[in-house]
Amino acid sequence: MTVRAFDRLDLRHDFPGLLDGNGGDWHYLDSAATAQKPRAVIDAIARAYGVEYATVHRGVYERSANMTLAYEAARRKVANFIGAASDSEIVYVRGATEGINLVATCWAGEQLEAGDRILLSMLEHHSNIVPWQMVAEKVGAEIDVVPLTADGKIDLDAMAAIITPGHKMVALAHVSNVLGSVLDVRRAADIAHSVGAKLLIDGCQAVPRLAVDVQALNCDFYAFSAHKLYGPTGIGVLWARKQLLDAMPPYQGGGSMIDKVTFEKTTYAPAPTRFEAGTPHIVGVVGLSAAIDYVQAIGLDAIHAHECALVGKARTALEKLNSVRVFGPEDSAGILSFEVEGVHPHDVGTILDETGVAIRAGHHCAQPLMRHLGVEATARASFGVYSDESDVDALVKGIERVRKIFG
Other CB atoms within 10 Å distance of the CB of residue 110: 12
CA angle 336, 367, 114 (to 5 degrees): 130
| pLDDT value at residue 11 | 87
| H or E element in which residue 36 lies | none
Residue ranges, CATH 3.40.640.10, the chain? 44-296
Q: Indicate the pLDDT class of residue 6, thresholds 50, 70 and 90.
A: low
∠ CA 196-372-339 to the nearest 5 degrees?
A: 130
Cβ atoms 52, 233 nearer than 8 A: no
Backbone phi and psi for residue 102, each to the nearest 5 degrees, phi listed first: -60, -45
Please give the pLDDT value at position 9: 63
What mean pLDDT is predicted for residues 356-375?
A: 97
- 317 phi, psi to nearest 5 deg: -70, -45
Residue 1 confidence (pLDDT): 41
Can you count the helices (H) and strands (E) in the chain? 15, 15
64 and 72 Cβ atoms separated by less than 8 Å: no
Least confident of 17-21, 109-113, 251-255, 299-303: 17-21
Length of the chain: 407
Residue 288 CA to residue 308 CA, distance in Å, equals 24
CA distance 392 to 310: 7
Angle at 203 between CA 378 and CA 309, to 5 degrees: 60
Q: What angle do CA 138, 141, 147 make, to 5 degrees?
A: 125
Catalytic residues: 365
CA-to-CA distance for 328 and 175, rounded, in angstroms?
11
The pLDDT of residue 58: 85
CATH class of 44-296: alpha beta
Q: What number is the average pLDDT over the span 84-88?
A: 97
Query: Quick check: 381 pLDDT over 50?
Result: yes
Domain spanning 3-30+299-405, CATH architecture: Alpha-Beta Complex (3.90)
pLDDT on residue 25: 74
Mean pLDDT of the chain: 95
Q: Which helix (H) or strand (E) holds 377?
A: none
- Confidence band (pLDDT; 50, 70, 90) for 19? confident
pLDDT of residue 322: 86
CB atoms within 10 A of CB 203: 30
Give me the pLDDT at residue 59, please.
85
Closest CA to 233 of 283, 273, 276, 272: 283
What one-character DSSP code corresponds to residue 114?
T
136-193 residue pLDDT tens: 999 999 999 999 999 999 999 999 999 999 999 999 999 999 999 999 999 999 999 9
The residues that bridge with 104 in the sheet, in sequence order, are none
Distance CA 23, CA 5 (A): 26
> Is residue 24 classed exposed, middle or buried when 0-12, 13-18 and 19+ CB atoms within 10 A define those classes?
exposed
pTM: predicted TM-score of the whole model, two decimal places: 0.96
State yes or no: pLDDT of 334 exceeds 90: yes
pLDDT at 12: 87
CA distances to 35, 49, 106, 384 from 205, rounded to whole Å, are 11, 28, 24, 11
Host H or E run for residue 360: strand 360-362
Share of the chain above pLDDT 70, in %: 97
Mean pLDDT confidence for 346-365:
96
**Cα–Cα distances in Å, from 92 out to 96, 122, 239?**
10, 28, 9
**pLDDT at position 5 over 70:** no
Distance (Å, whole) CA 239 – CA 235: 13
What's residue 289's pLDDT? 98
**pLDDT (average), residues 127-133:** 98
Residues 331 and 308 sit within 8 Å (Cβ to Cβ): yes
pLDDT digits (tens, 9 = 90+) for 187-243: 999 999 999 999 999 999 999 999 999 999 999 999 999 999 999 999 999 999 999
Calculate the dihedral angle through the C-alpha atoms of 208, 236, 156, 243, rounding to the nearest 10 degrees.
Answer: -130
Handedness of CA 351, 352, 358, 364 (dihedral sign): negative
Count CB neighbours of 407 within 10 A. 7
Q: In angstroms, rounded to a whole number, what is the distance separating the alpha carbons of residues 132 and 137?
A: 8
58/212: higher pLDDT: 212
Enclosing H/E stretch for 103: helix 96-103
Q: Residues 77, 92: contact at Cβ < 8 Å?
A: no
